[in-house]
Amino acid sequence: MDAKTGTDGKTGTLKIGNKNYELPQYEGTVGPDVVDISRLYDEAGLFTYDPGFTSTASCESKITFIDGDEGILLYRGYPIEQLAEHGDFLETCYLLLYGELPTVAEKLDFDRTVTRHTMIHEQMARFYQGFRRDAHPMAVMVGCVGALSSFYHDSADIGDPRQRMIASFRLIAKMPTIAAMAYKYTIGQPFMYPKNDLAYASNFLRMCFGVPCEDYEVNPVLARAMDRIFILHADHEQNASTSTVRLAGSSAANPFACIAAGIACLWGPAHGGANEAALKMLVEIGKPERIPEYVRRAKDKNDPFRLMGFGHRVYRNYDPRAKIMQTTCHKVLAETGAKDDLFEVALELERIALHDEYFIEKQLYPNIDFYSGITLKAMGFPTTMFTVLFALARTVGWIAQWKEMIEDPSQKIGRPRQLYTGATYRDYIPIDRRM
Ligand code: SDX
């Protein structure tokens, strides 16, 4: 990677005991500097310790930048607000993958290529039969996306740039089809094939809500909202699932297996599963007058309850995506006429939380998952599909980050160390001598 500076001799000094260690210090184009500790163990016989990586940069990247204090999110330098307002999801995909906004010709070619990869191998449809009808769609996604590697051996050689690009197109193009099939399977309806004359988000909505026995008219307001939701979820720096994809990719695993690992990690309610959990929380609260009880529980150290959809490891200010999500939510509720009391509960919960000293002191603001659940519910999706939609959108971010890692000449297998506090050396005791 060539962006690192610090090779001009900028160093940080680490004093341990009575010894000073000079460590290279690099600065990025924006954001905090980093101190390179890769030689610390060799020089000082010490590991650094940072569970949860709260102060650790795992890589150098040019893709997404977040300023958590200012509530800024940039994809390749472009603010999320402008991309969500003026662009579409496939334009964002092109930007994340190639680093620049596409020209008219490049966009047409990219859209056409993605469109022509939306069908999945016909035999894949049989995978779904192996799941119970009430299987969580995220379990289906992990299984089916991982299984893609059994169909596409011609794009699994990660050392071949052409195969990496083909795999990238296949994953971006097929995720909506696989996701829609996961939904159809749970409701016992026949799978819908993609239609090449529909744009990405419209195609997905038709595959989810259309049926073979009649034409399906895509609602343009909902299609625009869906496309915008995909843009908001496309990438987010080195979050847990992206770090999972990078770590899986560092062993040279094939891209389909790496993305399946990312889907598995995203499923957790502390991460991508929070949109499903946030809606369940709003349903449990039920009405505004019950909010104070839940806010009290969220503050209670002895109560594991947390306000789902609030807080973020990086954003110590408002999540810029949440603002756009709230506006999108309004539009969808207006369009669908879904008089959703949950939206009133959400607005009141947000108002209370933003004025509560606990949340202000802990810097807990609504994150993207807070409003996405209400929006998706109004669009007709069951809560079990919320994280599936997150995974669908985040696939391009995972792929862009995976590609960047593979193409980084300094890349090596990720292999963290540990602070060991277990038993020291001891001999085996035969079972008849154990008390
Ligand atoms: C996503 O990383 C990303 O970029 C993720 C994501 C992406 O696009 O990839 O943005 C998507 O995952 C958004 C986050 C979705 N998760 C939730 O909404 C679940 C609820 N939020 C929390 O679980 C929590 O806020 C996290 C996991 C999001 C962040 O946790 P941190 O940074 O590790 O913070 P923490 O758990 O150390 O909490 C700091 C303090 C704690 O109190 P103290 O121990 O200091 O007294 O804040 C409290 C926590 O108890 N706290 C909350 C809270 N979140 C944190 N208290 C009540 N409700 C909450 N939601």
pLDDT tens per residue across span 197-221: 999 999 999 999 999 999 999 999 9
Q: What's the gap in Å between 311 CA and the centre of ligand 1?
A: 4
**H or E element that contains 274:** helix 274-285
Token pair 């989810």 in the structure block, residue: 208
> How far, CA to CA in Å, does 389 sit from each of 227, 276, 376, 393, 395?
11, 11, 9, 6, 10
Measured distance CA(236)–CA(304) in Å, rounded: 27
- Select from 159, 341, 190 the least CA-distant residue to 253: 159
Phi-psi region for residue 363, left (φ > 0), alpha (ψ -120 to 50) or beta?
left
Residue 24 has pLDDT above 90, yes or no: yes
Say which residues have a Cβ less than 8 Å from residue 199's Cβ, sequence separation at least 6: 88, 90, 111, 223, 227
How close is the Cα of 313 to the center of ligand 1, in Å? Answer: 6
For the segment 64-96, what is each residue's pLDDT rounded down to a tens digit? Answer: 999 999 999 999 999 999 999 999 999 999 999
Residue 8's pLDDT is 57
Average pLDDT, the chain: 93
Terminal CA-CA length for the chain:
58
The pLDDT > 70 percentage for the chain reads 98
Six-digit token pair at 108?
A: 């047409």
Cα 265 off chain centre by: 9
| Rounded Cα distance, 399 and 245, in Å | 8
CA of 296 to the centre of ligand 1 (A): 17
How far is the C-alpha of 303 from the C-alpha of 296, rounded, in Å?
9
Is the full-model pTM beyond 0.85? yes
Whether 312 is a known active-site residue: answer yes
Does the pLDDT at position 167 exceed 50?
yes
Cβ-contact 251, 413 below 8 angstroms: yes
Rounded to whole angstroms, the Cα distance separating 376 from 279 reads: 10
Residue whose CA is at the smallest distance from ligand 1 atom 47: 362
Give the DSSP H or E segment for 94.
Answer: helix 89-98
CA-CA-CA-CA torsion sign (321, 326, 327, 333):
positive
Task: Give the per-residue pLDDT at 343.
Answer: 82
Which residue's CA is the closest to the ligand 1 atom numbered 27?
270
Q: Nearest C-alpha to atom 43 of ligand 1 is from which residue?
A: 362
Tens digits of residue pLDDT in 243-280: 999 999 999 999 999 999 999 999 999 999 888 899 99
310 has which bridge partners?
A: 366
> Which residue's CA is minimally distant from atom 18 of ligand 1?
309
Cα dihedral: 369, 372, 376, 377 (round 10): 80
Q: Ligand 1 mean position to 267 CA, how many Å?
A: 15
CA 257 to chain centre: 16
Q: What is the pLDDT of residue 29?
A: 95
Q: Are 24 and 58 in contact (CB under 8 A)?
A: no
Q: Which residues line ligand 1 (CB under 6 A)?
A: 52, 236, 239, 270-272, 274, 298, 306-314, 362, 364, 367-369
State the Cα–Cα distance between residues 281 and 377, nearest whole angstrom: 14
- Interval between CA 425 and ligand 1 midpoint (Å): 39
Candidates 313, 321, 358, 361: which one to mutate for ligand 1, based on the most atoms within 8 Å of Cβ?
A: 313
Token pair listed for 235:
């990438």
The residues facing 19 across adjacent strands are 16
Q: Which residues contact 270 (CB under 8 A, 6 or more apart)?
A: 240
Catalytic residue, chosen from 111, 312, 319, 340, is: 312
Alpha carbon 388 to chain centroid distance? 10
pLDDT at residue 204, as a whole number: 98
Q: What is the DSSP letter of 131?
A: S
